[in-house]
A and B are shown apart, each in its own frame.
Chain A
Amino acid sequence: MKRSGKISVIAIIVLMLALPNLLIAGETLDSVKKKGFVTVGVNGSLFGFGQPDEKGAWKGLDVDTGRAIASAVFGDASKVKFIPLTAVQRFTALQSGEIDVLCRNATRTLSRDTAMGLNFATVNYYDGQGFMVSKKLGIKSAKELDGATICVLPGTTTEQNAADFFRSHGLKWKPVVIEQTSELAKAFFAGRCVCLTSDASQLAGTRAVSPNPDDYMILPDIISKEPLAPAVRHGDDQWRDIVDFAVLAMINAEELEITSQNVDDMLKSKNPKIQRFLGVTEGNGKSLGLDEKFAYNIIKQVGNYGEVFERNVGVNTPLGIERGLNALWTDGGLMYSPPFK
């Protein structure tokens, strides 16, 4: 597994070396239309965000974000190809043009936005890093973890956050860093580490698929801000706008109370906001270089943000995550869309 990973990183670099002028601003949409599908980088082994189910169908919040982009571009949510990437591979894959957009629970940070040559669209999940421990330990807070061995995924902000947290509290710890999420989880559940640290949503996902979910708990400490957002290459503003408004359309739909069920009825709505949003009043689609019905297609085929959230990670799924920060701004959350006009 790792070997193929390393080879693909090298292959990507070779591509970067060899392909002349592969990426020119404004060209992503053209090339996507030409090949007929959107290539989306996803996690691949994260339940609730990006993982194929037992029948091989891709499921997850990030996967649905990818589908929303495909609906916006082609009016067809199935015109999308998912590429599973490790944390280490993901940005290189995007930089080199192997994928068109990265929807892989990636945290937006200053250095990624600048030195890595990426642009992040609207946040599709507000997360924070937490700790998962066995209930048997009887620990109440992460500050009691002095001297602990902790399992960490490499190549994420997680490694750095954990180091910062323990440094600032003057605690000693020892990381065990394994590249594959599945291998890391196996080592943790077998007792190699006292604690597993990652974004709280990932911990919930890992716990949900563990042999005995009830033996483990997520500590209340959230030690970082992790705004997870889709990312695109720097320099193609049009493509960035499309990805941005694909996410925003789902949020805006929830605010306007448009769902995949009632979207057809809403086409007849007298509300000018809804008419503009669904493309009954034309203009929005043209500005983005898309079909006027792009928002309608997203909502019809994928659903609004609330539907997508509840379907993949909400309280009625094995993950059982509350809306919290991810509720609409009108409900005390952070999800807020600029007007579609």
Chain B
Amino acid sequence: MALKQLPASKNTSFWQDPDKRSIIYQVFTLGTVLMIGYYLFSNVQANLERQSIATGFGFLDKEAAFEIGESMINYSAADTYTKALFVGILNTLKVSFIGIILTVFLGTVIGVARLSSNWLIAKAAAIYIEVLQDIPILLQLFLWYAIFYQFFPSPHQALNPVDGVFICNRGLVFGIPESHPAHTYMLIALLIAGIGIFFLRRWAGKRQAETGKIFPLFSVSLLLVILLPLAAWFAGGAPTAMNTPELRGFNFTGGLNVSPEFTALLMGLVLYTAAFVAEIVRAGIQSVNHGQTEAAMSIGLKQGKILNLVILPQALRVIIPPLTSQLLNLTKNSSLAVAIGFPDFVAVTNTTINQTGQAIEGIAMIMAVYLIISLSTSVYMNWYNQKSKLVER
């Protein structure tokens, strides 16, 4: 009360008003940052111009004139740098996306195993975590890659465990269905199943809230996901033709070839990051008071329901923020691909920089791409974190 009675505005000098002072500080800080930024930018411009080094992004429209080992889209040396860089981005996204899914899965399994009451399983998980966390990831990548090219035979003596599947030092090669319009129908059917499940879930939740009846959501969803594409396959004429790999000349042609570089990178990233994720999952589960489990058991919930309805919702709140940063690490570490020859975005940009000599533009693009990927992952995980927060009533 006493504070409020002070004559705040009239006699206080400009400097003694904390609000005005903080505005001045902020304007000053912003101004300094902008000035430093301008100085750096103009200095680079001047330096580059004096050394007559080309600047700008004009090179993007020129012919790239180099090949890329693996690409998800059609690419040849006659395409532009823009397309080459796009191939690189897709490769980075591919390894990060598959890596993130496998990491979360493997990390959860190991994290739970670490808490197992079975001594052997718990200790094995603990050793896994300690060993893989402590070896630098670059060494692990070299190791996995070396294992691939040192221990697997050449294509002519390729291991052939199952008909149509070959393992050799050029990678894992297996048959895939010959392309057919029916596959497109199957994809559409899968999409429809997904949308159907979404609405089914809402309806089931509402019904349970009103009547208390539980709908067998999981089994019905599973049925939808399997049956709808299957029906589409039959409707499309049930094609069975396979595109099987065949040894022709130096390499296999046909089928799908998963390269040693991709596999080594994926394995390295997943096994390394999973060790960290396992610790996060363990910490999350341990953060839930054991009394919660006992309470759930006392009202007669089954083991699976206890995990799904009581433990996980509470553990997730602890797990998600550190998990996000681990998944971002995985994405960023994928840039080590260049060391073992996987053509990710950094590798493609490196070649581009060297051919055009425009290092600053190249590095700027690398930073922008990783920033965008990281921020999008972050945004999604924050949204999920909000969703899994404890609802307080």
User: Interface of A with B (CB < 8 Å)?
Assistant: 1-3, 6, 9-10, 12-13, 16-18, 20-24, 87-88, 91-92, 95, 111-112, 114-117, 145-149, 154-156, 159-160, 162-164, 166-167, 173-180, 183-184, 186-187, 190-192, 194, 233-235
- The answer, yes or no, to whether B221 is at the interface (CB within 8 Å) is no
Q: Mark B273-316, 1 if CB is under 8 A from A, else 0.
A: 00000000000000000000000000000000000000000000
- The answer, yes or no, to whether B43 is at the interface (CB within 8 Å) is yes
Q: Mark B147-160, 1 if CB is under 8 A from A, else 0.
A: 01110001000000
- The answer to whether A175 and B354 touch across the interface, beta carbons within 8 angstroms, is no
- The answer to whether B52 and A167 touch across the interface, beta carbons within 8 angstroms, is no
Nearest CB of chain A from residue B341's CB, rounded to whole Å = 4
What CA separation (Å) do A194 and B354 show in the bound complex?
Answer: 25
> What would 20 more interface pairs be, CB under 8 Å, given A3-B336, A21-B47, A117-B51?
A2-B339, A3-B138, A10-B363, A13-B363, A18-B43, A20-B43, A111-B357, A146-B249, A147-B250, A149-B251, A154-B338, A155-B351, A160-B355, A162-B67, A163-B77, A174-B67, A178-B340, A179-B339, A179-B347, A192-B169
- The answer to whether B44 and A16 touch across the interface, beta carbons within 8 angstroms, is yes
- The answer, yes or no, to whether B53 is at the interface (CB within 8 Å) is yes
Classify the secondary structure of A's interface with B.
mixed
- The answer, yes or no, to whether B370 is at the interface (CB within 8 Å) is no
Nearest CB of chain A from residue B251's CB, rounded to whole Å = 5
Would you list which residues of chain B between 346 and 382 have a CB under 8 Å from chain A?
A: 346-347, 350-351, 353-360, 363
- The answer to whether A235 and B50 touch across the interface, beta carbons within 8 angstroms, is yes
- The answer to whether B350 and A155 touch across the interface, beta carbons within 8 angstroms, is yes
Q: Choose one: A22, A115, A145; the contact of B356 (CB below 8 Å).
A: A115
- The answer to whether A154 and B347 touch across the interface, beta carbons within 8 angstroms, is yes
- The answer to whether B354 and A176 touch across the interface, beta carbons within 8 angstroms, is no
- The answer to whether B249 and A156 touch across the interface, beta carbons within 8 angstroms, is no
- The answer to whether B142 and A177 touch across the interface, beta carbons within 8 angstroms, is no
User: Interface of B with A (CB < 8 Å)?
Assistant: 40, 43-44, 46-48, 50-54, 65-70, 76-78, 138, 142, 145-146, 148-150, 154, 169-170, 248-251, 253, 260-261, 335-336, 338-341, 343, 346-347, 350-351, 353-360, 363
- The answer to whether B340 and A88 touch across the interface, beta carbons within 8 angstroms, is no
- The answer to whether B44 and A17 touch across the interface, beta carbons within 8 angstroms, is yes
What CA separation (Å) do A162 and B65 show in the bound complex?
Answer: 10
- The answer to whether A154 and B65 touch across the interface, beta carbons within 8 angstroms, is no
**B contact residues around A112 at 8 Å (CB):** 357
**B contact residues around A18 at 8 Å (CB):** 40, 43
Q: Choose one: A3, A22, A147, A235; the contact of B52 (CB below 8 Å).
A: A235
Q: Choose one: A1, A16, A117, A167; the contact of B138 (CB below 8 Å).
A: A1
What CA separation (Å) do A326 and B234 show in the bound complex?
Answer: 70
- The answer to whether B149 and A191 touch across the interface, beta carbons within 8 angstroms, is yes
- The answer to whether B44 and A9 touch across the interface, beta carbons within 8 angstroms, is no
Residue of A with least CB distance to B55: A115
Residue of A with least CB distance to B50: A235
Q: Can you list 13 A-B contacts (CB < 8 A)? A: A2-B138, A3-B336, A17-B44, A24-B50, A88-B354, A95-B53, A114-B54, A154-B351, A155-B350, A155-B353, A163-B77, A174-B70, A175-B66
Q: Choose one: B67, B138, B363; the contact of A9 (CB below 8 Å).
A: B363
- The answer to whether B169 and A1 touch across the interface, beta carbons within 8 angstroms, is no
Query: Given the interface contacts A2-B138, A13-B360, A115-B357, does A177 sit within 8 Å of B343 by beta carbon?
Result: yes
**A contact residues around B350 at 8 Å (CB):** 88, 154-155, 179
Residue of B with least CB distance to A20: B43
**A contact residues around B336 at 8 Å (CB):** 2-3
Residue of A with least CB distance to B252: A147
What CA separation (Å) do A22 and B50 show in the bound complex?
Answer: 11
What CA separation (Å) do A240 and B162 show in the bound complex?
Answer: 64
Query: Given the interface contacts A146-B249, A191-B154, does A177 sit within 8 Å of B341 by beta carbon?
Result: yes
What CA separation (Å) do A180 and B340 show in the bound complex?
Answer: 9
What CA separation (Å) do A32 and B48 show in the bound complex?
Answer: 22
**A contact residues around B52 at 8 Å (CB):** 114, 117, 234-235
Query: Given the interface contacts A2-B336, A115-B356, A149-B170, does A23 sit within 8 Å of B40 by beta carbon?
Result: no
What CA separation (Å) do A148 and B252 show in the bound complex?
Answer: 10
What CA separation (Å) do A18 and B39 show in the bound complex?
Answer: 9
- The answer to whether B50 and A176 touch across the interface, beta carbons within 8 angstroms, is no
Nearest CB of chain B from residue A101's CB, rounded to whole Å = 15
Query: Given the interface contacts A13-B363, A175-B67, A177-B347, does A147 sit within 8 Å of B77 by beta carbon?
Result: no
Residue of B with least CB distance to A155: B354
What CA separation (Å) do A184 and B69 show in the bound complex?
Answer: 15
Nearest CB of chain A from residue B153's CB, rounded to whole Å = 8
**A contact residues around B353 at 8 Å (CB):** 88, 92, 155
Residue of A with least CB distance to B150: A190
Nearest CB of chain A from residue B264's CB, rounded to whole Å = 11
